[in-house]
A and B are shown apart, each in its own frame.
Chain A
Amino acid sequence: MIGRATKARSSAERRVLDEAGGLRAMTWVMAIMLFLTMLAAALGLATAGAARLLDRQLAGRLTVQIVDGDPVRRDVAAARVLAALRRIPAVAKATPVDRAELTRLLQPWLGSDGADPQLPVPAMIDVDLADHGEAAAARVAATVRRLGPTIRVDRHESWMSPVNDVMRALTFLALALVLLMASATAAVVVLAARAGLETHRATIAVMHMLGSTDLQVARLFQRRIALDATIGGVGGGVVALLVVGFIGIRLHGLGSELLGGVTLGGADWVLLALLPVAFVVLATLAARVTIVRALRHIL
Chain B
Amino acid sequence: MANIVQFENVGLRYGTGPDAGPETLSDVSFTLRSGAFYFLTGASGAGKTSLLKLLYLAQRPTRGVIRLFGEDAVVLSRDRLPGFRRRIGVVFQDFRLVPHLSTCDNIALPLRVAGMPEADIEQPVREMLAWVGLTERADARPATLSGGEQQRVAIARAVIARPEILVADEPTGNVDPDMAERLLHLFESLNKLGTTVVVATHDFHLLGRIPGAQMMRLDRGRLLDPTGSLRYPPTRPE
Question: Which residues from chain A sit less than 8 Å from chain B, CB to CB?
Answer: 5, 8-9, 12-13, 15-16, 18, 202-203, 205-213, 216, 296, 299
Contact = CB atoms under 8 A, between A and B. Distances in A.
14 contacts: A5-B117, A5-B118, A5-B119, A8-B119, A12-B118, A15-B100, A16-B112, A203-B98, A206-B98, A208-B85, A209-B85, A210-B86, A213-B79, A299-B81
Contacts of B100: 15, 18
A208 B98 CA distance: 13
A208 B92 CA distance: 13
Contacts, number: 68
A89 to B, nearest CB: 73
A210 B78 contact: no
Contacts of B194: none
A207 B118 CA distance: 18
Nearest to B90: A209
Contacts of A8: 118-119
Contacts of B113: 207, 210-212, 216
Which residue, of A12, A210, A299, has the highest number of chain B Cβ atoms within 10 A? A210
B96 A299 contact: no
Contacts of B96: 202, 205-206, 209
Interface residues of B, number: 32
B17 interface: no
Contacts of B10: none
A103 to B, nearest CB: 80
A206 B92 CA distance: 10
A284 B9 CA distance: 46
A212 B82 contact: yes
Contacts of B119: 5, 8
A19 to B, nearest CB: 8
B57 to A, nearest CB: 8
Which of B99, B114, B118 counts the most A-chain CB atoms under 10 A from its CB? Answer: B118
A211 B118 contact: no
A15 B105 contact: yes
Nearest to B102: A15
Interface string B195-215: 000000000000000000000
Contacts of A212: 82, 113
Contacts of B112: 9, 12-13, 16
Nearest to A211: B86
B109 A296 contact: no
Given A5-B118, A5-B119, A12-B112, A210 B60 contact: no
**B79, B108, B112: which has the most chain A beta carbons within 10 Å?**
B112
B58 interface: yes
B110 interface: yes
B63 to A, nearest CB: 17
A281 B119 CA distance: 30
Nearest to B60: A299
A16 B110 CA distance: 12
Interface string B142-182: 00000000000000010000000000000000000000000
B59 interface: yes
A8 to B, nearest CB: 4
Q: Which of B83, B108, B113 has the most CB of A within 10 A?
A: B113
A12 B101 CA distance: 10
A203 B157 CA distance: 14
A296 B85 CA distance: 16
B124 to A, nearest CB: 14
